[in-house]
Structure 1
């Protein structure tokens, strides 16, 4: 009996004006991910700062330019340039930890029905109580996940490339809020959407610090519910935080 070959993993990192955060992200990727990934793709989403120059310092990284600004457009450009069986996504202000890509490989190898793997953030630049409150959101949201069967965060997920194509890729009519819930909801039609508490991604809490914990919790909650019940986000506008 022929043994199936391990599935290959492409990592995609969208980046818009991320020269300040991208170096730490790529340093972590080189330490903890690159040796086990088929390719590392950074999508420059029409940056006007030194993002391209940062990427050029990492010869192992494939540079992709997406001229139309928007996170869903950048994710789609990454998908169209990826060749791995699994496409994993992180944000430019994340720091992928040791064992992260190994978890992806194990989960997809163990469960052939898995359509999407995601997990919570931890916030490396929020102190004490703010970090605990922010991370606690993922615990309070678990009843919603139990009811709907899907939940994910856009800066920490992986999906089979074939499923991403079958579901039509990313919805570029969604500018920002609700894009992760939309992906998870559509992925659910093709298999299990697993939100694993141990699949943790350290990320910056810059948006929470800039716009406030309560405001951000409210925006994410109302847009999640809007995707669940209306299949479109409640909020169109968003603020770039750099």
Structure 2
């Protein structure tokens, strides 16, 4: 019996992911969506470990993309995709068994949508940093899709579904988004066509959050560098002048500093002060990244 429904390509960029890729692919081959209607495309983004060998043990197609960067990797996946819809997740994610079916169902309810973003939960947090990332909603799809003055809606590609024709229509992923922001850049260009990108709360993936302070700092630093390129490119969306200073960022920094320096009896529990310390580190790394990005991209964004 031939299944009915749109054909979907799941694109999974992978770099040095030998410890993670098996769990990810195991979840993707076990979806409730008809197996004959979706394919899994793993983009090996220059890995030198056993990522490709482990992926080859699963019923997937492997594409090699030696040019480093998520923009290049996702672009290669789209080019190699056979489906009319393209679902994105990452090698450090584990998908709920109904994930793909929920994404497709939300898209089918409004076929003119520009895309769908699903819920991203933390996977089995065990370290304080992982609890912190979840508590502060640092990888939050609902927040990403919420239209605010300094946050234009976009779907985080750890959990997203986009029509391939729409991706191609707007020019695909920008390879210059080397460090971060390739998903926001693409979604903003889709938004300029008048199409909406909406939230599918039951389309769930579990993300393995950074487990060390060093990992958190590197993430924030790289994200901030990429955000400068993104805001310079989309200057019109942000109504940017020659200099852009995001004052709320510095307001939150001062609040975190005040909480960290507060006397011990003012804390409800030990986590509160620890998280305030993480806040200070995060803001410091983000600010440093903005400075480096401003120099690299010749745009003052702080």
CA distance in 2, matches of 1:81, 1:223: 26
Q: Does 1:40 align with 2:43?
A: no
CA distance in 1, matches of 2:201, 2:119: 6
Gaps of 5+ in 2: 236-288, 297-302
Q: Does 1:198 align with 2:197?
A: no
Distance 1:186 1:98, change over 3 A: same
Distance 1:221 1:145, change over 3 A: farther
CA distance in 1, matches of 2:108, 2:145: 27
1:78-124 Cα offsets, whole Å, 9 max, x none, are 00110101000110010010211111221111102211111342111
Conserved 8 A contact 2:28-2:97: no
Residue 118 of structure 1 corresponds to 117
Scaled by the length of structure 1, what TM-score is found? Answer: 0.81
Conserved 8 A contact 1:151-1:195: no
Number of aligned pairs? 231
Conserved 8 A contact 1:10-1:38: yes
The alpha carbon displacement at 1:27 in A equals 0.9
The alpha carbon displacement at 1:198 in A equals 3.5
Scaled by the length of structure 2, what TM-score is found? Answer: 0.66
CA distance in 1, matches of 2:8, 2:141: 28
Q: Does 1:154 align with 2:157?
A: yes
Residue 49 of structure 2 corresponds to 49
Instruction: Within 5 Å, give how 1:146-185 maps onto structure 2.
Output: 146=148, 150-185=153-188
Distance 1:208 1:56, change over 3 A: same
Distance 1:15 1:43, change over 3 A: same
CA distance in 2, matches of 1:224, 1:208: 23
Conserved 8 A contact 1:43-1:64: yes
Q: Which residue of 204, 207, 212 corresponds with 2:216?
A: 212
The structure that has the greater radius of gyration is: 2
Distance 1:105 1:51, change over 3 A: same
Residue 189 of structure 2 corresponds to 186
Conserved 8 A contact 1:89-1:154: yes
Q: Which structure has more RCO (C-alpha within 8 Å, separation ≥ 6)?
A: 1
Conserved 8 A contact 1:117-1:158: yes
